């Protein structure tokens, strides 16, 4: 079996022997695949250095080698905070109004991708299979080819791929996409994002596409493009749910709601998650049903992210303002309708919170997949499950809300539609809740992150 080399912006570096095997989610799945193959995981350490030292930190735990490099302040500012998160991230989430186009950050993005290639290339062996992850490293495959890599190299995009007319607003968009055709396999979360990519290749590059196989031919290169919907680490998450930490969290939330229905949202503090729009919908619900202030309490957990980017500072201010206005208008001495928590919790605690909450509110404006939706379903009691309200613009909607079954799909831009879905969920009888739960739980359990890892790696190795 060929060795697997994973390259991503950040690396899950084990702190001690055995930690890698205990991780859940994507990090756990990748570590398991790397351990099976005796692999290597390369990326940024997350640390800032004064200048480019060229030093690399190598660690080995349970058969997995991690290799990390530091970045300079300029690299972080231009590559990470700049082009990756102020240009590609908003554009790929359809927020052209927030997209910044700066030549300097674009050059920084290319410079850091070149540095990644320069640093990792000596570590790649002839028979290795290489798997590159996400929007930070789109051109990395082309940089590796330029340095002589003949390996099978795959790329997976964890976020949406925008429609062609949006993508063409990006200066030098053609150059960026052409670098992707140096991969052997490109993976997307959903058929929708895959179709958008194929449309661009056909209409902007003039590529030849076999829609049945996903084969794209352009200027002598052939690449496969397919959809691989990512899942949760089912076994790891269920194991956490059986532990004392999860049970204590469930009891804590149930006790604090005092016989009111708990509704929960868990999201990074990011404008793509639709948090202000969500609060507007909840406010509309309370406006339409003021008597139900004693029936429903909403808990929004929103740990901060990318605090150095101005748009993220703004969304925190807006969210605090909207939450404060609703609580100011609807609170009583013993009731606060919305609890806004600007911090994170462990995965085990989140399992307990999800199980205690009878409504899960997952309403991003645009999301590649959204694993919170799947985790909420996985945490439910089969005999008394909660209701998932899910944005129709999340990748997970394709799996969890098909044919009107499963999740209640909602347009997150409409406060009235969101308020209506909350009322429907609040009054839903047990038989319907169980029916909707049963329509979702199979795909959450079976199409898990380990299945996803195996599917992609098999296709990449076989071609």
**d(C-alpha 282, C-alpha 276), whole Å:** 10
For the chain, give the percent of residues with pLDDT over 90: 85
Q: Which long-range contacts (C-beta less than 8 Å, at least 24 apart) are formed by 327-333?
A: 330/286, 330/290, 330/293, 332/293
pLDDT at position 26: 82
* Residue among 117, 118, 122, 146 nearest 132 (CA): 117
pLDDT at position 315: 87
3-class DSSP assignment, residue 313: helix
CATH superfamily, region 234-446: Glycogen Phosphorylase B; (3.40.50.2000)
pLDDT at position 21: 36
Q: What is the mean pLDDT of residues 104-116?
A: 98
Cα 314 off chain centre by: 21
- 134 assigned to active site: no
pLDDT at position 14: 61
DSSP string, 317-328: HHHHHHHHHHHH
pLDDT at position 188: 98
3-class DSSP assignment, residue 160: coil
From 158, 173, 199, 398, active-site residue: 158
Is residue 453 exposed (0-12), middle (13-18) or buried (19+ Cβ within 10 Å)?
buried
**d(C-alpha 386, C-alpha 382), whole Å:** 9
pLDDT at position 33: 87
Domain ranges of the chain: 4-231+449-462, 234-446
Q: What is the CATH number of domain 4-231+449-462?
A: 3.40.50.2000
Q: What is the mean pLDDT of residues 103-118?
A: 97
User: pLDDT category, 303, cuts 50, 70, 90?
Assistant: confident
**Secondary structure, 3-state, 76-120:** HHHHHHHHHHHHHHHHHCCCHHHCCCCHHHHHHHHHHHHHHHHHH
pLDDT in tens, 425-452: 999 999 999 999 999 999 999 999 999 9
**d(C-alpha 365, C-alpha 384), whole Å:** 29
Structure pTM? 0.94
The alpha-helical segments, DSSP class H, found in 5-102 are: 19-22, 25-37, 73-75, 89-92
From 184, 367, 447, 459, active-site residue: 367
3-class DSSP assignment, residue 162: coil
- 173 assigned to active site: no
pLDDT in tens, 46-93: 999 876 667 899 999 888 999 999 999 999 999 999 999 999 999 999
- Higher per-residue pLDDT: 306 or 388: 388
């Amino acid at each position: 079996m060929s060795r697997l080399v994973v390259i991503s912006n950040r690396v899950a570096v084990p702190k001690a022997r055995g930690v890698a095997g205990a991780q859940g989610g994507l990090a756990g799945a990748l570590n398991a695949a790397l351990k099976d193959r005796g692999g290597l995981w390369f990326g940024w350490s997350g640390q800032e250095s004064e200048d480019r030292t060229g030093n690399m930190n190598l660690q080995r735990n349970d058969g997995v080698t991690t290799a990390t490099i530091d970045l300079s302040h300029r690299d972080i500012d231009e590559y990470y905070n700049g082009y990756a998160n102020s240009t590609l991230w908003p554009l790929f989430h359809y927020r052209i109004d927030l997209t910044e186009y700066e030549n300097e950050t674009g050059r920084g993005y290319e410079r850091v991708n070149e540095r990644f290639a320069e640093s990792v290339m000596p570590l790649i062996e002839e028979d290795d299979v290489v798997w590159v992850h996400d929007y930070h490293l789109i051109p990395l495959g082309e940089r590796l080819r330029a340095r002589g890599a003949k390996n099978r190299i795959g790329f997976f995009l964890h976020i949406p791929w925008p429609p062609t007319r949006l993508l063409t607003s990006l200066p030098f968009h053609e150059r960026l996409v052409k670098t992707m055709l140096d991969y052997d396999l490109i993976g997307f979360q959903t058929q929708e994002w895959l179709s958008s990519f194929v449309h661009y290749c056909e209409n902007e590059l003039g590529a030849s596409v076999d829609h049945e196989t996903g084969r794209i031919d352009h200027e002598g290169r052939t690449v496969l493009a397919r959809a691989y919907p990512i899942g949760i680490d089912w076994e790891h998450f269920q194991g956490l749910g059986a532990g004392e930490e999860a049970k204590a969290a469930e009891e804590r939330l149930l006790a604090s709601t005092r016989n009111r229905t708990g509704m929960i949202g868990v999201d990074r503090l990011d404008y793509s998650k639709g948090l202000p729009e969500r609060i507007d919908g909840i406010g509309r619900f309370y406006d339409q049903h003021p008597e139900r202030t004693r029936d429903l309490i909403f808990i929004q957990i929103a740990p901060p992210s990318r605090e150095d980017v101005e748009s993220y500072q703004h969304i925190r201010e807006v969210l605090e303002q909207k939450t404060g206005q609703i609580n100011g208008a609807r609170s009583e001495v013993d009731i606060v309708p919305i609890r806004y928590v600007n911090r994170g919790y462990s995965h085990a605690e989140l399992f307990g919170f999800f199980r205690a909450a009878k409504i899960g509110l997952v309403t991003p404006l645009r999301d590649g997949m959204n694993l919170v939706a799947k985790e909420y379903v996985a945490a439910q009691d089969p005999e008394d499950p909660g209701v998932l309200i899910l944005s129709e613009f999340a990748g997970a909607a394709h799996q969890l809300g098909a044919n009107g079954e499963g999740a209640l799909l909602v347009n997150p831009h409409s406060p009235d539609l969101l308020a209506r879905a909350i009322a429907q969920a609040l009054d839903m009888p047990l038989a319907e809740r169980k029916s909707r739960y049963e329509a979702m739980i199979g795909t959450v359990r079976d199409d898990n992150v380990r299945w996803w890892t195996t599917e992609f790696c098999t296709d990449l190795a076989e071609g």
